[in-house]
Amino acid sequence: MAYIESLLTSISVVLMNIGPTLSLILILISGIIYALAQAQPADSRGKWMSWAINFFIGGIILIAIVGGATIIRDSASQFLT
């Protein structure tokens, strides 16, 4: 049981360290892709915009996970003990 708790703690620490940077990178890439989509023809613009929206939503979801990482870790450790 102690191994699982330490594994969850280490995953949480790694996520809290790289999460904000990765989230910012995803949001910036989504802005670049969205700007590039404006230069595309109409038939392929939708594909580019959907990629941009997917990157943006991924960044927002990552922010939510990083924000709740300690709550998730504490809840999981209570279930395992």
Q: Over the chain, what is the mean pLDDT?
A: 88
Is the four-CA dihedral 75, 79, 80, 81 of positive or negative sign? positive
pTM of the model: 0.74
Q: Is residue 9 part of a domain?
A: no
CA separation for the pair 48, 37 (Å, rounded): 5
Owning domain of residue 24? 19-80
Tens digits of residue pLDDT in 12-24: 788 788 989 999 9
Q: Is residue 32 part of a domain?
A: yes
Which is nearest to 51 in space by CA: 69, 67, 31, 65?
A: 31
The total number of structural domains in the chain stands at 1
What is the DSSP code (8-state) at residue 68? T
Q: Is residue 59 part of a domain?
A: yes
CA separation for the pair 74, 64 (Å, rounded): 16
Q: Is residue 23 part of a domain?
A: yes
Residue 38 scores a pLDDT above 90: yes
